[in-house]
Amino acid sequence: MNPLLTLLAAQIPGAVAQRDLMRAKPHKRAAGPGARDSLLKAYTERAEKDAGSNSIQRLKLEANEAPTGAKLREMIESNDPELLDALNAMRYASHGSRYALGADGQQDMAKGQRMPSSIQYNPNADEIYLAHELGHQTSLNSPVGDKIRRLRDLVSSNPKLAVALGAAAGITPIAAAAMTPGDDDLDEAMLGTIALASPTLIDEALASKNALALMEDAGRPAQLGQRGRLAGGYLSYLAAPITAAVLGNSLGNIIDEDV
């Protein structure tokens, strides 16, 4: 497959999700009060089972409605300083975990006690997005999910570690392509970069699995289109390693030809 086509295809899911998340008018299965309360109840019940004798992880919900098209045009024309914030998809679907401070005054993501998490969502968007963020919260109540999220947060908060992994993600496909004869080595390159991104990908996979379970428990089983939105969101996280693999693989094949 042409590397450019692979690269472009990897960007599509994120663009589609951005459009879905910024709904100004309610979706037919929007995350309004009814859906929100049902999902929160389902979360509490499932969290209590996963936590066992421990207290369940607490959270704070923040509802952010997206601006209408007319409002966005007004913000653009007036150079409104809040425009970038209004276009930030994180306002409409995000989960932030917090930790107690360590001796250095920074959040201790490795061993610190968990503090209440924050979830931002758009009440007009499909309820599956809120379910996904609650799926992240559900993971925090199990030992495995907690460790995976801590590792993900450690990587994202440590610039040196993030740079090292980013460099490795670029070097891996180049080396794989250079050392493998011919041009049919994109699969090895993708496997290498995906492995380096595994904490994020595993955390996202767990959140999606939990989201479907929460929807079922809430008496609102996910429809085919909602499952598709979950899949599209997951593909958006695959975009970065796929992009690194495609670009690195192409460069590696050039090196391979010259060796």
The answer to which of 6-15, 24-33, 152-161, 228-237 has the lowest mean pLDDT is 6-15
pLDDT at 72 over 80: yes
Average pLDDT over residues 10-28: 72
Instruction: Note the pLDDT of residue 239.
Output: 63
CB 2 within 8 A of CB 186: no
Instruction: Note the pLDDT of residue 240.
Output: 57
pLDDT at 8 over 70: no
Instruction: Note the pLDDT of residue 252.
Output: 41
User: pLDDT, tens digit, for every residue of 187-196?
Assistant: 444 444 444 5
The single-letter DSSP state of residue 68 is P
Instruction: Note the pLDDT of residue 154.
Output: 85
23: number of CA atoms within 13 Å, CB side? Answer: 22
Average pLDDT over residues 208-219: 96
Where helices occur in the chain by DSSP H, the ranges are 3-21, 33-51, 69-77, 83-86, 127-139, 143-157, 159-179, 186-196, 198-217, 224-258
Q: Spell out the domain ranges in the chain.
A: 3-258
CB 173 within 8 A of CB 6: no
Average pLDDT over residues 99-125: 95
The single-letter DSSP state of residue 126 is B
With bands split at pLDDT 50, 70 and 90, how would you rate the model's confidence at 198? Answer: confident
User: pLDDT, tens digit, for every residue of 124-163?
Assistant: 999 999 999 999 999 999 998 999 899 889 888 875 655 5
With bands split at pLDDT 50, 70 and 90, how would you rate the model's confidence at 232? Answer: confident
| Residues 6+ away with beta carbon under 8 Å from 179 | 256
What's the mean pLDDT when you consider all of the chain? 79
Higher pLDDT, 72 or 162: 72
Residue entry with tokens 């289109």: 225
% of the chain at pLDDT higher than 90: 57
